[in-house]
Structure 1
Amino acid sequence: MKKALDWSNYHDQGMGDAYADIPKHGGNFAKAVSVCIRSGVCQQPDNKGVMCPSFRVTGDPKLSPGGRVQLLKAVLNQSEDAMLSDHSLATSLEHCVSCKGCKRDCENSLDMAAIKAEYLAQKRRSGHRSLRQWLFAEFPYLAYRYPSLRHMIAFRNRSSILKRVCAKLLNINPNIDLPLPAKAPYQDSRLQAQRNHSATPKRLDSRGVVLLIDSFTALFHPHIVTDALKVLHAAHYHVITLHPTSQSNAPILDSGRSLFSQGYTGRTTKQARALIDKLQPYLALNYRVVGLEPSTLLMLRDEFLMLNLGEQAKTLAQNTLLFEEFVARESHVGRLALDFTPSEGQQVMVHGHCHQKAVGALKSMRKVLRLIPNLKFEFIQASCCGMAGSYGLEAEHHELSRKMAQLELLPALNAHPDATIVCNGFSCSEQIYALTERKPLHLATLLARHLVHQ
């Protein structure tokens, strides 16, 4: 089995450890599976926080990281091909929502999200085909190529008959509306285009920032980009924007998150190479790459390093920050020249995306929220919201998706019905809106609303 991802970091895993219990087949991939030491921390019934929402809502050990490891070890001791035909393993991995809770909370940082990505990639290579998975994987690219998709989605959301048809043909969850793209995706204004042109890299620039706008923010919430630009420009940063259509007459510029999530690692690698090539001149001149959507931006620090992209990917990973991480860092070193108007008794409830939690970015969220005088905010101690990319849009996962939201997220929101919700994750925001009809704000929007006009 030719591996889709690079597992070489696990080459020395288990060396000198008589209890490593590494399977006979699978090479370094099997060693990555074997970092699990069966401590049982992922199977504690009272586990709070991020750790494995599918186990938390079912109590089924096979739907925990440790349970998945045991299934993987069993099939990899038979053969590599056995991994693709085992029904129990397929069911178990189907309910892994790639939240990376295990990578954060496991003593040995078991990376089940990456393991699932390899599994899905091998399924694709073996000839497994699914129209629904292809649509989810290719959606950003299709949306740019066929803008009329917006009207089709709106029509489906209004029609109970079409919801049933989509459920029948594609097994798409008929109980919630599909996310509806904005009428017009983000495009640079004339002023921003001039800034981009004048900011063509020529020299080192400690205040140079590349705002990397992912497909989902550009397609669904272009106002978030406008708000982020307001904040960065008000703080006197030299901002250039890169967004899906930054390259005219070329494939859209994108990290490939939707492709990767469905196992299309070959296509993801092509997208990643194009993005890295575009960013290289700015990285060479000390620009930082800042992103708005956690699942997309953090690919550049995590998954890109497993796509055999060389040293350039490592350089990119070292210079990539979430919007909240950048603002917090710049504030800490005294470079953020911004004033904010005090909050007038506003209560804010903050829900973190699982990948934010996995890298500890909620600390930065807390620091940035404190920049707004008198702001009362509370972080919701919750696991995955249950949307998890396309998981909550799939009909067979409707019940578990809702149960995940009901663990802590929905009770916390119901306890504060008038609070403003701050949430940076696209999937999280869509799940909250689908289940509560309350529209969360991105942190950039909250900051922009409190800017003191200069």
Structure 2
Amino acid sequence: ALSGQLGHNAVTSEEMMETMKLCVGCKACQNECPTSVDMAKMKTEVLYQRSKRFGIGLRERLIAYLPYYSSWIKRVPWLANLRDQIPGLPWLTEIAIGLSKDRPLPVWDKAYKEPATEPQTNKPPVILFGDTFNRSFETKNLYAARQVLESMGFEVIEPKPENRPACCGRTFLAAGLVDQAKKEAARFVSTVMPWIRRGVPVVGLEPSCLLTLRDEFRVLLPGEDAKLLADNAFLFEEFIESELIAENVSLNLIESQCAEVLVHGHCHQKAARAMGSVESLLKRIPGLKVSIIESSCCGMAGHFGYQKETLEESLAMAEISLLPAIRKANPKARFVADGTSCRHQIADNSSHNAEHVAVFLAEHLKRD
């Protein structure tokens, strides 16, 4: 279809969309397919071509432009949170927008107090990428990451372009708005590149966002700048573990009172072969048993788990391995999941909550 062999409109056909409907963009095919076929990029291309031919609906537009309007909603988060508090509103949003009435939406958090845009001390600076999801719904993760990095002797900064924070464009890619994603990528690169050239790393919390800098940016913006950024962009646990291994810094942690921590990996973490860092880092906590949940995709996959037409498949995917493993776990065990979608799937469908590794680490910092 992409080569044109199936006709002029094959890529944008309903048959093609039905074929791609259940692709959750997990990127597992990058490693598991013998020819490394990237179905996630193929689906993005299909969505892109369809958006040019048909436009996009209100639901996809709301998801895509989340980075644009999130700062405004955070001024009145209580208003946005009414959807799951007033009877009947979930039903109305399912009819009007297509968001499943049976899936609660993320709860909007208070406004995030950003770090300085440039260094204020002589400590080595680190750019903490405050992605839209953590910035909007779980600011505690960003604060915890800052606490850990600062305890290691780093100064956390976040360069900021005009009007709103820099964004990776992930939400635009999810809706097929590739041209807009390319603009976001260019905006991000121009914002951080002066610091990257000075050797300042970019550290991110959300795997789907941070790893966009290492993967999709190199396709959207071919050239040396995107490559240099990709080489200097790290997941939170990757950066800390690499610095500890190099003995550039130290991390003072107290003994854990937790019986065991079970770790669920985000699909993009697994595809990037980045799970070893989070496991190694957690094992540095004295007295802590660390177990990796042998699970496939949690089934949330961004907005896949919110759509009324794919909610059933989302829940079925979670039941393959993730949710059964959580139910069988030690009642006193705790759970770590770096992906915001993964944490929501666990919270929505079990009696447990999962935490970002930054929160878990911050809790175990040795206080002076």
Shorter-chain TM-score range = over 0.9
1:82 matches 2:16: no
1:125-174 deviation line (CA, Å, top 9, x unaligned): 11332111111111232221344663343221023311111111112111
Aligned length: 367
Q: Distance in 1 between matches of 2:274 and 2:125?
A: 22
Q: Distance in 2 between matches of 1:146 and 1:309?
A: 34
* C-alpha displacement of 1:81: 2.2
1:129 matches 2:56: yes
1:387 matches 2:307: no
Classify 1:267/1:437 alpha carbon distance in 2 versus 1 (closer, same or farther; 3 Å).
farther
* C-alpha displacement of 1:410: 0.3
Q: 1:228 is matched with which residue?
A: 145
Which one of the candidate residues 168, 185, 209 is aligned to 2:111? 185
Report the TM-score, using the length of structure 2 for normalisation. Answer: 0.95
Q: Distance in 1 between matches of 2:308 and 2:193?
A: 42
Q: Distance in 2 between matches of 1:353 and 1:278?
A: 27
Classify 1:199/1:313 alpha carbon distance in 2 versus 1 (closer, same or farther; 3 Å).
farther
* C-alpha displacement of 1:185: 2.5
Q: Distance in 2 between matches of 1:431 and 1:223?
A: 19
User: Secondary structure, in 3 states, of the residue corresponding to 1:172?
Assistant: coil
1:175-195 deviation line (CA, Å, top 9, x unaligned): 12111110x22112xxx43x8
1:268-300 deviation line (CA, Å, top 9, x unaligned): 111111110111111111111110100000000
The letter for the 1-side match of 2:130 is: I
Q: 1:369 is matched with which residue?
A: 282
Q: Distance in 2 between matches of 1:279 and 1:101?
A: 29
Matches within 5 A, 1:133-172: 133-147=60-74, 150-172=77-99
User: Secondary structure, in 3 states, of the residue corresponding to 2:10?
Assistant: helix
Q: Distance in 2 between matches of 1:250 and 1:159?
A: 33
Q: 1:102 is matched with which residue?
A: 29
Between the two proteins, what is the percent identity of the paired residues? Answer: 34
Q: 1:423 is matched with which residue?
A: 337
Q: 2:172 is matched with which residue?
A: 259
Q: Distance in 1 between matches of 2:73 and 2:52?
A: 28
* C-alpha displacement of 1:267: 1.0
Residues 258 and 332 of structure 2 are in contact (CA less than 8 Å); yes or no, is this contact kept in structure 1? no
1:275 matches 2:202: no
**Bigger CA radius of gyration:** 1
1:436 matches 2:358: no
* C-alpha displacement of 1:437: 4.3
The letter for the 2-side match of 1:212 is: F
Unaligned runs of 5+ in 2: none
Residues 261 and 291 of structure 2 are in contact (CA less than 8 Å); yes or no, is this contact kept in structure 1? yes
The letter for the 2-side match of 1:178 is: L
Q: Distance in 1 between matches of 2:185 and 2:324?
A: 39
Matches within 5 A, 1:190-229: 192-193=115-116, 196-198=118-120, 207-229=124-146
1:413-433 deviation line (CA, Å, top 9, x unaligned): 001243211011011111111
User: Secondary structure, in 3 states, of the residue corresponding to 2:156?
Assistant: strand
* C-alpha displacement of 1:345: 4.4
The letter for the 1-side match of 2:81 is: A
Q: Distance in 2 between matches of 1:254 and 1:82?
A: 32
Residues 265 and 275 of structure 2 are in contact (CA less than 8 Å); yes or no, is this contact kept in structure 1? yes
Which one of the candidate residues 357, 360, 367 is aligned to 1:446? 360
User: Secondary structure, in 3 states, of the residue corresponding to 2:55?
Assistant: coil
Which one of the candidate residues 315, 321, 325 is aligned to 1:402? 315
Q: Distance in 2 between matches of 1:148 and 1:387?
A: 27
Q: Distance in 2 between matches of 1:341 and 1:433?
A: 27
Q: Distance in 2 between matches of 1:263 and 1:444?
A: 31
Residues 81 and 108 of structure 2 are in contact (CA less than 8 Å); yes or no, is this contact kept in structure 1? no
Residues 75 and 111 of structure 2 are in contact (CA less than 8 Å); yes or no, is this contact kept in structure 1? no
Q: 1:73 is matched with which residue?
A: none
Residues 227 and 445 of structure 1 are in contact (CA less than 8 Å); yes or no, is this contact kept in structure 2? yes
Classify 1:437/1:264 alpha carbon distance in 2 versus 1 (closer, same or farther; 3 Å).
farther
1:202-252 deviation line (CA, Å, top 9, x unaligned): xxx9x432111111111111111111111111111232124xxx34x5243
Q: Distance in 1 between matches of 2:28 and 2:21?
A: 16
* C-alpha displacement of 1:331: 1.2
* C-alpha displacement of 1:346: 2.5
Q: Distance in 1 between matches of 2:8 and 2:199?
A: 44
User: Secondary structure, in 3 states, of the residue corresponding to 1:81?
Assistant: coil
Q: Distance in 2 between matches of 1:135 and 1:163?
A: 16
Which one of the candidate residues 238, 243, 266 is aligned to 1:353? 266
* C-alpha displacement of 1:197: 4.4
Q: Distance in 2 between matches of 1:337 and 1:148?
A: 38
